[in-house]
């Protein structure tokens, strides 16, 4: 089976098994962007608690986050873990947003994808996975997000070595699949789901929708 056929086959098996994931769960693109920063090194349930805190305090908007102190922001997002570091990263993102785009995400979305990506990566604390999550889920750009779950699945099926670079993994999907926001959205979310359920650090292959024994 070709690499392209394998990737398409994986997607259909996962989608058939799990169904639509409706990811990223957020009310606005701005909430997605903040959530992408908060989700670094933690699980979604903790991120949701931090997001709920921001909403309750009426802080989940660019203007409020621009004027809040790092100390206060740290307290509000405490459930997300590494909260002082993440507060600084959120403030760096907000500074970028106002320095270049008047605090308006809609203006960023109109820019060319590679240009936005380069700008996001220039922000302190935003790496490739976070930048691409913002691009795909907040700005609806056809950029495949690579995370540890994706790397585990692909490497365990002998398609690409786990230690390959982020770019090599991303290029695999960009080159073999059509550039489609909805496809990339669902596929990444499905990798996260199967990674949490089966393709863990210690894999649980029995019952996995991608098991070689399943048809």
Q: What top-level class would CATH report for the domain 29-138?
A: mainly alpha
Q: Are 18 and 190 in contact (CB under 8 A)?
A: yes
| Distance in Å from the first CA to the final CA of the chain | 14
- DSSP conformational letter for 79: G
**46, HSE (Cβ side, Cα atoms, 13 Å):** 15
| Structural domain spans, the chain | 3-22+144-197, 29-138
- DSSP conformational letter for 162: T
Q: Give per-residue pLDDT as tens, 36-54.
A: 999 999 999 999 999 999 9
Q: Give per-residue pLDDT as tens, 45-98.
A: 999 999 999 999 999 999 999 999 999 999 999 999 999 999 999 999 999 999
Please state, in angstroms and rounded to a whole number, the distance separating the CA atoms of residues 51 and 213: 41
Which token pair is 77? 């997002």
Q: What is the value of pTM for the model shown?
A: 0.94
């Amino acid at each position: 089976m070709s690499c392209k056929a394998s990737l398409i086959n994986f997607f259909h098996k996962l989608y058939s098994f799990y169904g639509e994931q409706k990811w990223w769960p957020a009310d606005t693109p701005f909430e997605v962007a903040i959530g992408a920063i908060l989700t670094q090194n933690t699980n979604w349930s903790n991120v949701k608690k931090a997001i709920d805190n921001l909403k309750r305090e009426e802080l989940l908007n660019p203007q409020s986050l621009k004027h809040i102190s790092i100390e206060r922001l740290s307290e509000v997002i405490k459930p997300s873990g590494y909260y002082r570091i993440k507060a600084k990263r959120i403030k760096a993102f907000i500074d970028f947003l106002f320095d270049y785009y008047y605090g308006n995400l809609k203006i960023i979305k109109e820019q060319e994808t590679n240009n936005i990506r380069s700008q996001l990566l220039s922000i302190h604390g935003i790496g490739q996975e976070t930048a691409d999550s913002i691009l795909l889920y907040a700005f609806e750009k056809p950029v495949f997000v690579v995370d540890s779950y994706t790397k585990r699945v692909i490497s365990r099926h002998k398609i690409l070595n786990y230690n390959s670079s982020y770019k090599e993994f991303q290029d695999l999907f960009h080159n073999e699949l059509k550039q489609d926001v909805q496809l990339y959205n669902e596929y990444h979310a499905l990798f996260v789901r199967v990674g949490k359920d089966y393709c863990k650090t210690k894999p649980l292959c029995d019952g996995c929708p991608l098991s070689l024994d399943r048809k």
